């Protein structure tokens, strides 16, 4: 795999219920990273999809008086609709009920079996349908619940096992050799100590229900939904066939997951892959959880946040910006309606929108709707000024930050440059220069417009529609909107026409 390819995945979402803010968040951060990598010239594959097998989904189908097939067909559409509503630029969407996936899972199972890591025995222990996870007695709370708070039930049935315990030492060695495998760093210790505490073999088939992929040769058993689901990351690339996609994109650069499902991705998945002789992904990034006004989000409390409603109420880019800006990627986030409004008004409207609107309106009225005329010498000098040297450094820094998934640091950079430019325009007051020093006025405006080109290009991953409007307003050609165009060679051209300005980041009223 060449360095120019980038493969990013979301978890595949359970279709037992409609999408909520957690699903929206995971898809959105992956979209921001994927779009950034694209404007940085990478060939990007962004995979998402739905996890449709297992007891939880089967139960929901029954509760809805639908067959699991009808139910999953219907529910997966709502997840596809969410992607559309959020303007997610995924390159594929996999459903675990698709043939291509089932074929991948069967082949993967066979590989584990061939390598001597699967055996049949009996499972007896605790199982949580909500988490689709097995728990030891020692993990349960004093009230007898799963550590996640989910109810558990006693299960005793014949089961195939994966010899996970055999992989304990190799996993520990792997974490040691790949200190960046689990991100952020704080999550790494959690996983390492879980593995150090001892791994028991993992039950990987169930016999008490039918909704899953049957085990070849013993169809009484369906494959454990997590073994089924994790395989999506390779089945979507064509595994077991050595397709171009597979060769180009595996191993994945990053699987982005919520902190609750880190164990499945950072312990079970690499162990399965090692057993199958397939390279492990380069990293797993665990993000935090959203609460609603400080409270854990749950259906029973009735405080689930509907992402479609958020978008209707506040606007797409406003919601995208808030969700990514409000929390440091990796930390927990708290949804507070007032904070969404505040973020939008103080940063998108008052900083970026204001700089754009006042500069473009002034140019439109006072410079014959054209980018102000400056000399080549001026542009040379401007590009050697401290401000522009710092601007170039800021781009380099933003690339490094994004490569380390410090998404917020990139937004800090953008806001910082915008603030400086707002101070600059106030200080230079081009509106006072029109008669007394028209050339100076042109130069001040030109510097701001060129900075706005930087801001708009960098904002594309975060607020794609609004950034496109900014670039359209400035008439920046569509094929000149990548990071490689952020230099003097592609500087905005004097006397080019700009388009009629209009507010791109309107303020949100508090009485929403």
By CB under 6 A, the residues from 352 to 411 that bind ligand MSP are none
Which residue, 401, 402, 395, 400, is CA-closest to 417? 395
Task: Specify the residue, 18 or 382, whose C-beta has the smaller distance to ligand MSP.
Answer: 18
- Minimal distance in Å, beta carbon 264 to ligand MSP? 7
Q: Strand order of the sheet with strand 290-292?
A: 295-296, 290-292, 333-335
Task: Specify the residue, 120 or 301, whose C-beta has the smaller distance to ligand MSP.
Answer: 301
- Minimal distance in Å, beta carbon 237 to ligand MSP? 14
CB atoms within 10 A of CB 17: 15
Q: Is 258 in the site for ligand MSP (CB under 6 A)?
A: yes
- Minimal distance in Å, beta carbon 20 to ligand MSP? 7
By CB under 6 A, the residues from 9 to 28 that bind ligand MSP are 11-14, 22-23, 25-26
- What is the C-alpha to C-alpha distance for residues 226 and 229, in angstroms, rounded to an integer? 5
Task: Specify the residue, 68 or 353, whose C-beta has the smaller distance to ligand MSP.
Answer: 68
- Minimal distance in Å, beta carbon 171 to ligand MSP? 18
- What is the C-alpha to C-alpha distance for residues 497 and 507, in angstroms, rounded to an integer? 27
DSSP 413-426: HHHHHHHHHHHHHH
Q: Which residues, including other chains, have CB under 8 Å from residue 432's CB and lie 6 or more apart?
A: none
- Minimal distance in Å, beta carbon 263 to ligand MSP? 11
Q: Is 230 in the site for ligand MSP (CB under 6 A)?
A: yes
Binds ligand MSP (CB under 6 A): choice among 146, 266, 297, 455: 297
By CB under 6 A, the residues from 270 to 289 that bind ligand MSP are 289
Rounded to a whole number, what is the distance in angstroms from the first to the last CA of the chain? 49
Task: Specify the residue, 102 or 481, whose C-beta has the smaller distance to ligand MSP.
Answer: 102
Task: Specify the residue, 13 or 462, whose C-beta has the smaller distance to ligand MSP.
Answer: 13
- Minimal distance in Å, beta carbon 252 to ligand MSP? 12
- What is the C-alpha to C-alpha distance for residues 512 and 509, in angstroms, rounded to an integer? 6
Task: Specify the residue, 248 or 331, whose C-beta has the smaller distance to ligand MSP.
Answer: 331
Helices first, then strands: H and E counts in the chain: 20, 17
Binds ligand MSP (CB under 6 A): choice among 199, 257, 374, 411: 257
Q: Which stretch binds ligand MSP (CB under 6 A): 102-110, 214-222, 229-237, 416-424?
A: 229-237
Burial of 172-186, coded b for 16+ CB within 10 Å and e otherwise, reads eebbeeeeebbbbee
Which residue, 115, 202, 114, is CA-closest to 159? 202
- Minimal distance in Å, beta carbon 152 to ligand MSP? 17
- Minimal distance in Å, beta carbon 68 to ligand MSP? 15
Residue 72 contacts residue 96 (beta carbons within 8 Å): no
Binds ligand MSP (CB under 6 A): choice among 73, 92, 110, 260: 260
- Interior CA angle at 407 toward 1 and 80, to 5°? 75
Q: Is 229 in the site for ligand MSP (CB under 6 A)?
A: yes
Task: Specify the residue, 16 or 421, whose C-beta has the smaller distance to ligand MSP.
Answer: 16
Task: Specify the residue, 16 or 349, whose C-beta has the smaller distance to ligand MSP.
Answer: 16
By CB under 6 A, the residues from 26 to 85 that bind ligand MSP are 26, 51
Q: Nearest to ligand MSP by Cβ — which residue?
A: 258
Give whole-number Cα distances, 389 to 40, 355, 382, 468, in Å. 19, 21, 9, 25
Binds ligand MSP (CB under 6 A): choice among 167, 290, 321, 462: 290
Peptide bond into 240 cis (omega under 30): yes
DSSP 438-481: HHHHHHHHHHHHHHHHHHHHHHTTTSHHHHHHHHHHTT--GGG-
Q: Which stretch binds ligand MSP (CB under 6 A): 239-247, 254-262, 341-349, 436-444?
A: 254-262
- Minimal distance in Å, beta carbon 503 to ligand MSP? 32
CB atoms within 10 A of CB 511: 5
In the complex, the residues that contact ligand MSP under the rule CB under 6 A are 11-14, 22-23, 25-26, 51, 229-230, 232, 257-258, 260-261, 289-290, 297
């Amino acid at each position: 795999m060449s360095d120019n390819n980038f493969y990013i995945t979301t978890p595949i979402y359970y279709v037992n219920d409609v999408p909520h803010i957690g699903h929206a968040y995971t898809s959105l951060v992956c979209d921001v990273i994927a779009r950034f990598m694209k404007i940085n010239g990478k060939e990007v594959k962004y995979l998402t999809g739905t996890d449709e097998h297992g007891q939880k989904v089967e139960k929901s189908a029954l509760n809805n008086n639908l067959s699991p097939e009808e139910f999953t067909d219907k529910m997966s559409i709502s997840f596809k609709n969410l992607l559309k509503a959020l303007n997610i630029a995924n390159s594929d969407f996999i459903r675990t009920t698709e043939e291509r996936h089932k074929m991948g899972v069967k082949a993967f199972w066979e590989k584990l079996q061939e390598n001597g890591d699967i055996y049949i025995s009996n499972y007896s222990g605790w199982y949580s349908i909500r988490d689709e996870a097995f728990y030891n007695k020692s993990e349960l709370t004093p009230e007898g619940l799963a550590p996640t708070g989910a109810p558990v039930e006693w299960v005793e049935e014949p089961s195939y096992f994966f010899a996970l315990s055999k992989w304990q030492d190799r996993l520990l060695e792997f974490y040691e050799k790949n200190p960046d495998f689990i991100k952020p760093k704080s999550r790494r210790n959690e996983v390492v100590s879980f593995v150090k505490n001892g791994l028991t073999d993992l039950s990987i088939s169930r016999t008490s229900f039918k909704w899953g992929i049957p085990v070849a040769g013993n169809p009484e058993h369906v494959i454990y939904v997590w073994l089924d689901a994790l395989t999506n990351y390779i089945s979507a690339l064509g595994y077991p066939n050595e397709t171009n996609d597979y060769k180009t994109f595996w191993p994945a650069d990053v699987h982005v997951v919520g902190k609750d499902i880190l164990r499945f991705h950072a312990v079970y998945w690499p162990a399965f892959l090692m057993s199958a002789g397939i390279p492990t992904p380069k990293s797993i990034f665990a993000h935090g959880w959203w609460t609603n006004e400080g409270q854990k989000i749950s259906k029973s409390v009735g405080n689930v946040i509907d992402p479609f409603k958020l978008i209707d109420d506040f606007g797409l880019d406003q919601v995208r910006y808030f969700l990514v800006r409000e929390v440091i990627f990796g930390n927990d986030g708290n949804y507070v309606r007032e904070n969404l409004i505040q973020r939008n008004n103080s940063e998108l409207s008052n900083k970026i929108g204001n700089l754009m609107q006042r500069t473009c309106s002034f140019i439109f009225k006072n410079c014959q709707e054209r980018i102000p005329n400056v000399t080549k010498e001026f542009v040379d000098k401007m590009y050697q000024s401290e401000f522009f040297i710092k601007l170039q450094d800021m781009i380099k820094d933003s690339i490094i930050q994004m490569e380390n998934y410090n998404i917020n640091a990139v937004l800090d950079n953008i806001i910082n440059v915008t603030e400086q430019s707002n101070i600059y325009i106030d200080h230079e007051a081009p509106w006072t220069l029109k008669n007394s020093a028209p050339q100076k006025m042109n130069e001040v405006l030109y510097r701001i417009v060129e900075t706005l080109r930087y801001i708009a290009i960098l904002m594309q991953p975060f607020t794609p529609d609004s950034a496109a409007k900014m670039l359209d307003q400035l008439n920046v050609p569509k094929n000149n909107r990548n990071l490689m165009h952020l230099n003097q060679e592609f500087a905005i051209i004097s006397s080019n026409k700009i388009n009629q300005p209009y507010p791109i980041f309107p303020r949100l009223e508090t009485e929403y």
